[in-house]
Amino acid sequence: MHIDFETDVQRSATLLRERAGATPLPTTAIVLGSGWGGLAEQVQDAIDVPYGDLPAFPPIGVGGHAGRLLIGRIGAAPVMVLCGRKHAYESGDAAAMKGPIRTMAAAGVRTLVQTNAAGSLDPALPPGDVMLIADHLNLVQRSPLIGEVGNERFVDLAEAYDAALRVRAQSAAQALGRPLREGVYAWMLGPQFETPAEIRMLQRLGADAVGMSTVPETILARHAGLKVLALSLITNLGCGLADVALSHHQTLSVAEQAGGQAVELLCAILAALHD
């Protein structure tokens, strides 16, 4: 199985090179979560590759995740854009995005920009805001590295979210006049939302936002030697912090309303990373 997986990764990376033709593959990739899909419309000269064409990529089964990969540029920045991710809650597999992350690394990507929709644990971080992830809490206590061998599986996560990349992101936000709060993201497995007691627990643990993705991909990316920058689009306050019933429909609705400004910020950040 391990040999088959590595073969699929290499086949996927080779296919991306073939589809790109004479265009060099970008060294920056972005994973689009809920609310961030508008970035795909900003990709110029896009080469569109369905996930189904890439043997190392999983099928996508969540609304708001398109399941296609774009190769192109946003402004002057060459980018590879992954429109959607597979979540651990779909199958219980924390390594659901192992194939795409390994494929990107094999194709020459060196920086991974992650995006997601998240719930806020602080009323001062309201829906519509964007949070720059400075650190995370793996509350699920599952690792996508189970089954790996060798000393490289013991990944140092002191720099899980690259400090230099965060400085550039902050500079881009300041240039737009957009305050960008940094915070700690807590990963909960889902797909159910948290209870009020769980939200209180997360607050006491020091989390600023909570969601159902990103942490496994960050671990996989760091294991593959990629630098990571991550952004959360706040779509709701955590259960018990507001008199609003939580649902995936509500998450997508708020994400759609706030997505335009979030994508504008992300475009500015990508330009700053390219400079």
- CA distance linking residue 207 with residue 111, whole number of Å: 25
- CA distance linking residue 124 with residue 107, whole number of Å: 40
Question: Does residue 2 carry a catalytic annotation?
Answer: no
Question: Does residue 89 carry a catalytic annotation?
Answer: yes
Question: Does residue 97 carry a catalytic annotation?
Answer: no
- CA distance linking residue 101 with residue 83, whole number of Å: 13
Band (pLDDT 50/70/90 cuts) for residue 83 is: very high
Supply 264's token pair. Answer: 């504008």
Q: 261 or 166: which carries more pLDDT confidence?
A: 166
CA-derived radius of gyration, the chain: 18
Contacts of 80 (CB under 8 A, 6+ apart): 16, 25, 26, 28, 29, 30, 69, 70, 71, 104, 107, 109
Question: Does residue 116 carry a catalytic annotation?
Answer: no
pLDDT in the model for residue 61:
64
- CA distance linking residue 121 with residue 238, whole number of Å: 6
Which tens digit of pLDDT belongs to each residue from 195-242?
Answer: 999 999 999 999 999 999 999 999 999 999 999 999 999 998 888 777
| Set 12, 40, 46, 65: catalytic member | 65
The answer to whether the CB of 8 falls within 8 A of the CB of 57 is no
| Set 46, 88, 117, 118: catalytic member | 117
Contacts of 52 (CB under 8 A, 6+ apart): 59, 67
The answer to whether the CB of 183 falls within 8 A of the CB of 121 is no
Question: Does residue 236 carry a catalytic annotation?
Answer: yes
Residues pairing with 230 in the sheet: 114
- CA distance linking residue 49 with residue 58, whole number of Å: 13
Question: Does residue 223 carry a catalytic annotation?
Answer: no
Dump the DSSP string for 149-171: -SGGGS---TTSS-HHHHHHHHH
Band (pLDDT 50/70/90 cuts) for residue 125 is: very high
| Set 20, 90, 171, 264: catalytic member | 90
CATH number at residue 238: 3.40.50.1580
Which tens digit of pLDDT belongs to each residue from 89-111?
Answer: 999 999 999 999 999 999 999 99
Evaluated on CA atoms 162, 77, 33, 104, the torsion sign reads: negative
How many separate domains does the chain show?
A: 1
pLDDT in the model for residue 41:
93
Kindly report the number of other CB atoms within 10 A of residue 166's CB atom. Answer: 18
First to last CA, the chain: 41
For residue 11, pLDDT over 90 is answered with: yes
Our CA angle for 151, 223, 30, nearest 5°, is: 175
Band (pLDDT 50/70/90 cuts) for residue 1 is: very low
pTM for the structure as a whole: 0.93
Which tens digit of pLDDT belongs to each residue from 35-58?
Answer: 899 999 999 999 999 999 999 998
| Set 66, 77, 89, 182: catalytic member | 89
13 lies in which domain range? 2-274
